């Protein structure tokens, strides 16, 4: 069971699990984790109030797979950039259409100035509301992501975007390329991924 299970179908895929690493008990919350007993993994943890540790990320070096805490795919700055870009793409066409309408119906300069000021103020207010709402929606785990990527050794953890890295590096590089950074013949790489998996990605190279 998990504390999210009654909130929505979207969150029902989140699992709570426990495992042993040596003599340490590690608890974690991931989405349909599909690593197996005996897999070599590197774990980002912090001590719990109770005995044991809470896992925020699991990295399996053999196939470069990275399991992350829910919504922790982007650092806080990367998350803000994505939200800003998305909102600008949406709001700017709407704003320019409103301005065009204001210009079309205005017969006097004073009317145009009033329409311009009102439309600019309303669009700015709408932009700010939707931007912070969307940023919060995207960045439910961005603070955790900052800690995770810092612990993993990324020099600028707040700017890390694992979704972008996956799309730009992994999706655009042929698996038949001799310089492909994952050995595609490993059993772990060919492991079937369960349906509905989220917040699991591939990383290119681990920071030193």
1: exposed, middle or buried (Cβ count in 10 Å: 0-12, 13-18, 19+): exposed
In the block, which residue shows the tokens 């050794």?
153
- Residue 11 has phi, psi (to 5 degrees) of -90, -5
The Cα 39–Cα 188 span in angstroms is 9
CA-closest candidate to residue 120, choices 105, 143, 135, 98? 98
Give the end-to-end CA distance of the chain in Å, rounded to a whole number: 36
Instruction: Specify the length of the chain in residues.
Output: 208
The Cα 150–Cα 111 span in angstroms is 54
Write out residues in the chain with pLDDT < 70, as ranges: 1-14, 50, 138-141, 169, 172-181, 208
DSSP assignments along 7-31, one per residue: T-GGGGGEEEEEEEETTEEEEEEEE
The Cα 141–Cα 155 span in angstroms is 19
Evaluate whether 54 touches 27 at the Cβ level (below 8 Å).
Answer: yes
Position 175 scores a pLDDT of: 64
Degrees, nearest 5: CA angle 67-69-72: 100
Evaluate whether 69 touches 142 at the Cβ level (below 8 Å).
Answer: no
pTM of the model: 0.73
The Cα 161–Cα 132 span in angstroms is 19
The Cα 6–Cα 93 span in angstroms is 38
CA-closest candidate to residue 69, choices 52, 53, 57, 54? 57
């Amino acid at each position: 069971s998990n504390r999210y299970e009654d909130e929505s179908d979207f969150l029902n895929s989140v699992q709570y699990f426990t495992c042993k690493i040596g003599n340490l008990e590690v608890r974690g919350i991931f989405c349909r984790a599909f690593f197996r007993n005996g897999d070599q993994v590197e774990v980002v943890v912090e001590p719990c109030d109770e005995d044991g540790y809470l896992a925020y990320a699991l990295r399996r070096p053999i196939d470069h797979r990275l399991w992350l805490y829910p919504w922790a795919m982007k650092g806080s700055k990367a998350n803000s950039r994505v939200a800003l870009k998305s909102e600008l793409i949406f709001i700017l066409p709407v704003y320019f259409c409103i301005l065009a309408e204001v210009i079309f119906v205005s017969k006097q300069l004073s009317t145009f100035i009033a329409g311009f000021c009102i439309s600019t103020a309303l669009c700015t207010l709408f932009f700010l509301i939707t931007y912070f709402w969307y940023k919060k929606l995207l960045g439910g785990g961005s603070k955790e992501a900052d800690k995770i990527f810092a612990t993993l050794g990324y020099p600028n953890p707040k700017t890390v975007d694992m979704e972008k890295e996956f799309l730009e590096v992994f999706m655009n590089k042929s698996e038949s390329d001799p310089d492909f950074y994952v050995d595609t013949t490993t059993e772990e790489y060919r492991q079937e991924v369960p349906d509905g998996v989220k917040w699991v990605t591939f990383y290119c190279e681990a920071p030193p």
